[in-house]
Structure 1
Amino acid sequence: MIQQNPASPTPDWRLRDQMIDAPEPVVLEWLFHEDSLTRRLTRLSHDGFSVTPLFEGWQRLRSDECLALQLPEGSEGWVREVYLLGYGEKWVFARSVAARAALEQDGLHMDELGTRSLGELLFSDRAFARGPLQICQYPAQWLPQADATQGLWGRRSCFTRGALGILVAEVFLPTVWRAIDQAADISKERH
């Protein structure tokens, strides 16, 4: 579980047209790509994709999460934190949250996902609508200690189905950028 520091700064989540210091084009393209990240990582890893759960349970949501889900400050919700892996290597840290009341009313059992990808579930259920993608440099103190690095790019979007909103944040670790670069180099060699 992530230890949260209440004094930590709230990240500056931005839409694409609000970018001031935009990252390099390949980073920007991955951050704002609308398709399922699970599917992209599965292709990148030649089906060597897996999910490792870190934490799942009821927890007080962070201020930025409450704001994004239009909940009162300090609301409780279901929190799921996982690593998305390619070839057994941690590529992305993901944190998904949903309000307790909305989740219980909807009947979605996020607690039964285990090593299944939440993204695959959200993209395969046409009843879910995805909100706009926002990106930021994710606070290091919100990452697992082994990957607590300043300046990592993250993105988030809210998936809604009726009254249920699931906020999904994905933080790209340096290992995924290396894999993306290697795949691009191999592709160039073939052409």
Structure 2
Amino acid sequence: MPNNSFLFKQEPCWKPNHPGLRHALPQAVGSWVYEAGSLTKRLRGFYGDSFAVKILFHQWRPAFLSECKQLHLPHQQYGLVREVLLHADGKPLILARTILPTNTIKIAKRNLSHLGTRPLGEVIFSYPDLERRQLDICSIKPNDWSSDIRQLVKIEETIWGRRTIYAIKKQPLVVSEFFLRGALEAM
């Protein structure tokens, strides 16, 4: 397992979003990948107060190479890496990985570095100047996940994910979300 991720053995292979890709995704996956609003709001609407966040990894570490490129950071520059499990009554829904560069944390007045178990979506979608810059998509086979996460959430099938580059006051952050069976059942 890399020392900058609890979720992965190695960096996922992302593909840029394009019009034909939308039709290649299973319908339930597409519903989540192309959700324009907050996933937190959508999950709370479905699960109510049983929706919660479990922190899996929260450390200052270098981002993956492709994340550094997306953030225009030198490779090996540290950022805050946060990986969480979104769940409802213990039912795994979404795995998420966020990369927060220092400048983005500063511009957000440190709100992003002290989230605790508060969902990121609750915070970033409250910024009126939030920009969505890019969307990438990947599928990850069970053996590409770390053994720890495979045991924790019982990953037995290919998982689809999206990586979104957001910006708050022109400062970027990377949010990657991976849709587990529990989320796909909550359409």
What is the TM-score with the length of structure 1 in the denominator? 0.80
Aligned partner of 2:53 in structure 1 is 51
Alignment counterpart, residue 109 of structure 2, candidates 107, 110, 127 = 107
Matches within 5 A, 1:169-184: 169-180=176-187
Aligned partner of 2:163 in structure 1 is 156
Aligned partner of 1:183 in structure 2 is none
Query: Using the alignment, how far apart are the partners of 2:100 and 2:38 within structure 1?
Result: 19
- Residue 37 (structure 1) aligned with residue 39 (structure 2): yes
The CA RMSD measured in Å over matched residues stands at 2.5
Contact preservation (8 Å) 1:106, 1:164: no
Query: Using the alignment, how far apart are the partners of 1:25 and 1:111 within structure 2?
Result: 34
Query: Using the alignment, how far apart are the partners of 2:186 and 2:107 within structure 1?
Result: 40
Q: Are the structure 2 counterparts of residues 43 and 17 from structure 1 closer, same or farther at C-alpha, using a change threshold of 3 Å? A: same
Aligned partner of 1:144 in structure 2 is 149
Q: Are the structure 2 counterparts of residues 176 and 29 from structure 1 closer, same or farther at C-alpha, using a change threshold of 3 Å? A: closer
Q: Are the structure 2 counterparts of residues 164 and 67 from structure 1 closer, same or farther at C-alpha, using a change threshold of 3 Å? A: same
Contact preservation (8 Å) 2:11, 2:64: no
Moved over 6 A (4+): none
Residue 129 of structure 1 and its aligned partner are, at CA, apart by 1.4
Query: Using the alignment, how far apart are the partners of 2:179 and 2:34 within structure 1?
Result: 12
Query: Using the alignment, how far apart are the partners of 1:112 and 1:56 within structure 2?
Result: 10
Aligned partner of 1:184 in structure 2 is none
> SS where residue 74 of structure 1 aligns?
coil
2:145 maps to amino acid: Q
Matches within 5 A, 1:93-132: 93-104=95-106, 106-132=108-134
Contact preservation (8 Å) 2:107, 2:169: no
2:183 maps to amino acid: V
Q: Deviations over 1:131-173 (max 9, x none)?
A: 2332111363368242455620011112212342111111011
> SS where residue 65 of structure 1 aligns?
helix
Q: Are the structure 2 counterparts of residues 107 and 20 from structure 1 closer, same or farther at C-alpha, using a change threshold of 3 Å? A: closer
Query: Using the alignment, how far apart are the partners of 1:35 and 1:163 within structure 2?
Result: 19
Aligned partner of 1:92 in structure 2 is 94
Residue 48 of structure 1 and its aligned partner are, at CA, apart by 2.2
Q: Are the structure 2 counterparts of residues 20 and 113 from structure 1 closer, same or farther at C-alpha, using a change threshold of 3 Å? A: closer
> SS where residue 24 of structure 2 aligns?
coil
Query: Using the alignment, how far apart are the partners of 1:132 and 1:44 within structure 2?
Result: 27
Contact preservation (8 Å) 2:43, 2:51: yes
What is the TM-score with the length of structure 2 in the denominator? 0.82
Alignment counterpart, residue 62 of structure 1, candidates 38, 61, 64 = 64
Query: Using the alignment, how far apart are the partners of 2:16 and 2:65 within structure 1?
Result: 16
